[in-house]
Amino acid sequence: MKLQIKPDYETLCSAVADEVFAQLSCKPVSVLVFPTGNTPLGLFKVLVTAHIANRVDFGQAHFVMLDEYADLEASDHRSLSGWLRRELLDPIGIGQDRCHGFEWGMKAIEETIARLGGLDLVILGLGPNGHLGFNEPGSAFNSRARLIDLTPASIRSNSAYWGADDLVPRQGYTLGLGTIAKARSIILMVSGAGKASILRNCTAQKPHTSIPASCLQLLPQAKIYTDVAAVSNALSTQPDSQQSK
Ligand code: PGA
């Protein structure tokens, strides 16, 4: 696992966008996974701007959903695939035929990933409890796509998106940590002082299922891109520095 520290959120988003551009220029038919949440919104803006300016070609890429709430109508405004579609997939012109979600079941999404030749680049956000996707604390490092009960911590943090705890579904579907670990490249985006404590736990403590994102320490193809705010109290490192584990 490598750590890249950027001076601020904008630089962090540009650097992750450069990773996406590099991936697509070396393999236009890449299979990509993007998270939802607040952290990737700046990245999506950079990608959409580049698409409009013809600086990137998403024309052959496939997109696999990272996670989704269970038991929601596809048209429900809380649907995570709807969120990704509004913020990224529609603006960059990706049809349903190249977007793969959980609607056909857990076995089907794993089979789709295998049929597409595996995941090339998975971009992740970090939950306040260390979750990746909806892989909550206790998730096995070799877990596969499945239905999972959301923890109170995730329900609380997700309530910021929808206005109240009661509006957050209690279960979700997620790619498993084992599914993610097989990706050729993995990037975890972490921004802001509010993530400093959980980021420190993810990187400094021995990998353990109680902190799902700590599994990244075991993966040489994983990079954490963070801004200074998220490491201000976590690590004594300078902007643009790199650390390896
Ligand atoms: P955030 O969510 O990007 O809104 O902080 C991350 C997550 O919970 O996975």
Q: What is the pLDDT of residue 138?
A: 98
Pocket test for ligand 1, best of 9, 157, 174 (most atoms within 8 A of CB): 157
The span from the CA of 5 to the CA of 87, in Å, is: 25
The span from the CA of 150 to the CA of 168, in Å, is: 9
Q: Indicate if 129 belongs to the active site.
A: yes
- Ligand 1 proximity of 38 Cβ (cutoff 6 Å): yes
- Ligand 1 proximity of 185 Cβ (cutoff 6 Å): no
Classify 236 as helix, strand or coil: coil
Query: What string of DSSP letters covers 88-99?
Result: IITTTT--GGGE
Phi-psi map region of 37: left, alpha, beta (phi>0 left; psi -120 to 50 alpha): left
- Which atom in ligand 1 lies closest to the alpha carbon of residue 194? 5
The span from the CA of 80 to the CA of 77, in Å, is: 8
The Å distance, Cα 40 to ligand 1 centre, comes to 9
- Ligand 1 proximity of 42 Cβ (cutoff 6 Å): no
Q: What is the pLDDT of residue 242?
A: 52
Residue with tokens 């299922």: 209
- Residue 115, C-beta contacts closer than 8 angstroms, at least 6 positions apart: none
User: CB–CB of 51/42 below 8 Å?
Assistant: no
- Ligand 1 proximity of 143 Cβ (cutoff 6 Å): no
CA dist 155 to 19, 63, 149, 169, Å?
31, 26, 10, 8
The span from the CA of 115 to the CA of 86, in Å, is: 27
The span from the CA of 32 to the CA of 88, in Å, is: 12
Give pLDDT tens digits for 85-134.
999 999 999 999 999 999 999 999 999 999 999 999 999 999 999 999 99
Which of these is catalytic: 67, 68, 87, 227?
A: 67
| Per-residue confidence band for 197, with pLDDT thresholds at 50, 70 and 90 | very high
* pTM of the entire predicted model: 0.95
- Ligand 1 proximity of 172 Cβ (cutoff 6 Å): no
